[in-house]
């Protein structure tokens, strides 16, 4: 059995701590950064995890965090480092953990693995690993108003090979309120080994958190989008957010959520009359084509789109009906009919159409955006936020998805102002468009 002196010596050797004295008993922003690479029988390039951890620690210090950084930590050293992190947390603190190394999921929970772990069976993961949910819960119980977990731990590892035939990646975390969690890859998947001095995930993370004036949540969403783009869709980070506090990596200390300003009602524009629609040149031309050929699927579709854009929703639905009659597997026709039915409030068939579009094309951003609107109008705000967030991974500049998610957050009691303001900066008419669907910032 190790002596107390040996434990302290191991911790001192392994941990590269911030040498500056604390500015206060409980600094406003505290972080623990761990880079583990010297595992037995590993394919992880040691320079990647070490460089990642050092650069993240340096950036967080620059952003005002009181950082302790540790390299190649044993289980005892990790336990002591976590205890020191918890002791530095005070009321209204921001607490962050960054971990670069190996992670394993067991029982649908994620565990961070120290370099001296003795894992030969799944039960050993619970004994030697550090449960992410437990770490976040401890941060929360110590009074942290914002909890952040950044994990570059979804890798093939030698431990899992001993008791599984595959790498299971990480599991979704059940987090306390006001938490941001970002994994380097999607749930249940692993990242390819990097041939560079830094992982792709950390390269994108550092770029985004350095941007001034961007909320922490948006910085992580931008990181997510950057990894997807750089990997050409092969690596898709997983992000979970329940953040309602206004916080930025490059900004000041954590603050309480601001009260939402009183909104100004937005009136929807009146749809054009039947005579006005008939006189529209594009609609008139498509109507002429359809009179000549009732099986002209493209003309039905284009006219349906024009009707929908002009808020003649009933006419749009009729045209999309014809497209689906002629082509029962037309994904965009189902998506457009879903969106149009949602606008009219016919929500049950709208949901069926969106589900069909997503069955035909899983992950289709447009269909996720449309289903987000359906769920929003059904009052299913959590489902709406999930749909809009998934759509934004694929299309981060979608004003519709940003505005819809902002409304859903407001209706869930969260701060949706960043999403709403970003949407309006992209499309000044987005509030009027949503008013046409019967959805406004005032209608909470």
Tens of pLDDT, residue by residue, the chain (444 residues):
333 333 333 333 343 333 333 334 455 899 999 998 888 766 555 567 888 999 999 999 999 999 999 999 999 999 999 999 999 998 889 999 999 988 888 777 888 989 888 877 778 888 888 999 899 999 998 889 999 999 987 766 666 666 665 565 677 777 888 899 999 887 755 665 555 556 888 999 998 898 887 889 988 988 988 888 888 888 888 888 888 788 888 764 444 444 444 455 555 566 778 888 888 899 999 999 999 999 999 999 999 999 988 888 889 999 999 999 999 999 999 999 999 999 888 899 999 999 999 999 999 999 999 999 999 988 898 999 999 999 998 888 888 999 999 999 888 888 788 888 888 888 888 888 888 888 888 754
The count of other CB atoms within 10 Å of the CB of residue 296 is: 17
Nearest CA among 332, 401, 319 for reference residue 361: 332
Rounded (to 5) percent helix, strand, coil in the chain: 50, 10, 40
Torsion of CA 139, 140, 145, 151, to 10 degrees: 50
CB distance 257 to 244 below 8 Å:
yes
pLDDT value of position 43:
58
Residue 214 DSSP symbol: -
Inter-axis angle of helices 75-88 and 132-141, to 10 degrees? 30
The count of other CB atoms within 10 Å of the CB of residue 345 is: 11
Nearest CA among 17, 51, 85 for reference residue 206: 51
CB distance 361 to 367 below 8 Å:
yes
Distance from C-alpha of 396 to C-alpha of 394, rounded to nearest angstrom: 6
Question: Over the range 283-294, which residues count as b (16 or more CB within 10 Å of their CB) and which as e?
Answer: beebeebbeeee
Residue 85, both tokens:
């992190």
- Maximum CA pair distance of the chain? 91
């Amino acid at each position: 059995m190790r002596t107390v002196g040996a434990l302290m010596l191991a911790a001192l050797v392994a941990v590269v701590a911030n040498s500056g004295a604390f500015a206060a008993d409980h600094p406003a922003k505290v972080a623990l950064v761990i880079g583990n690479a010297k595992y037995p029988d590993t394919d992880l390039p040691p320079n990647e995890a070490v460089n990642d951890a050092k650069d993240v620690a340096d950036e967080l210090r620059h952003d005002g965090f009181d950082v302790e950084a540790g390299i190649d930590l044993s289980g005892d050293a990790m336990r002591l480092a976590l205890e020191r992190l918890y002791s530095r947390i005070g009321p209204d603190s921001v607490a962050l953990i960054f971990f670069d190394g190996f992670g394993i999921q067991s029982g649908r929970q994620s565990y961070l693995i120290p370099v001296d772990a003795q894992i030969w069976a799944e039960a050993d993961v619970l004994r030697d690993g550090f449960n992410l949910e437990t770490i976040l819960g401890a941060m929360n119980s110590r009074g942290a108003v914002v909890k952040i977990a950044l994990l570059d731990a979804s890798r093939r590892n030698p431990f899992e090979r001993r008791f599984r035939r595959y790498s299971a990646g990480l599991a979704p975390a059940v987090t306390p309120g006001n938490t941001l969690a970002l994994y380097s890859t999607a749930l249940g998947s692993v990242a390819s080994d990097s041939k560079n001095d830094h992982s792709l995930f950390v390269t994108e993370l550092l770029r985004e958190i350095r941007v001034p004036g961007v909320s922490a949540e948006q910085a992580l969403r931008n990181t997510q989008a950057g990894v997807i783009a750089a990997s050409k869709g092969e690596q898709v980070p997983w992000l979970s957010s329940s953040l309602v506090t206004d916080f930025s990596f490059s900004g000041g200390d954590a603050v309480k959520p601001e009260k939402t300003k009183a909104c100004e009602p937005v009136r929807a524009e009146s749809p054009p009359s039947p005579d006005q629609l008939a006189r529209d040149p594009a609609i008139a031309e498509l109507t002429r084509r359809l009179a000549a050929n009732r099986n002209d699927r493209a003309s039905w579709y284009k006219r349906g789109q024009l009707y929908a854009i002009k808020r003649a929703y009933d006419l749009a639905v009729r045209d999309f009906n014809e497209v689906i009659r002629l082509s029962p597997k037309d994904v965009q026709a189902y998506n457009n009919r879903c969106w149009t039915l949602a606008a009219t409030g016919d929500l049950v068939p709208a949901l069926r159409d969106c589900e069909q579009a997503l069955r035909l094309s899983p992950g289709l951003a447009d269909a996720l955006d449309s289903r987000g609107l359906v769920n929003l109008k059904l009052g299913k705000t959590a489902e709406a936020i999930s749909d809009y967030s998934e759509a934004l991974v694929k299309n981060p500049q979608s004003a519709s998805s940003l505005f819809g998610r902002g409304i859903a957050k407001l209706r869930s009691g969260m701060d949706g102002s960043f999403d709403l303001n970003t949407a309006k900066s992209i499309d000044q008419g987005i509030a009027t468009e949503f008013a046409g669907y019967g959805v406004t910032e005032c209608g909470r």
